Amino acid sequence: MKKIEFIKDNIHQFVTERKLVCKVHRFTRMEIFGEVTDRYESTINMAMTGSACPVQYEGTINGKNAYYRDRHGVWYLEIYDGEIMESNVIFRKEGVSSEDIGYSGMLAAEKRIMKCSIKFSKKTSEKKKE
């Protein structure tokens, strides 16, 4: 892991780069038989590129470029078809955040990224069925 050094008031602090690398699974069971009816999976490989003002993550979701940003209580996640450009956005979710910036904000951001990745997987699988 890459170490980033911060120097403030002659105090040295070392922070390890934070990464979110995981597979997220979501499935729905029929109430009567307990059979799996819908299953969505997403693969996330994102690195935190800003930890405060703003909280930012960049990387990929299901092999597509993705960017997450949270600042001043407003967050959004965009997934792109190709380069990270506004014209290439194929999926966008946004909302209001109430967490403080810092560790709790990072955990909330990662939870949002995981939830949005499942919504993206569901949306793309529904398009394939059409």
- Mean pLDDT score, 6-18: 41
Q: Are 79 and 113 in contact (CB under 8 A)?
A: no
Q: How far apart are CA 114 and CA 20, in angstroms?
A: 9
- Two structure tokens written together for 45: 């490989």
Q: Are 42 and 117 in contact (CB under 8 A)?
A: yes
pLDDT of 32-56, one tens digit each? 555 555 677 888 999 888 766 788 8
pLDDT of 61-70, one tens digit each? 999 999 999 8
Q: What is the pTM of this model?
A: 0.73
Strand pairing report for 64-71 and 36-51: unpaired
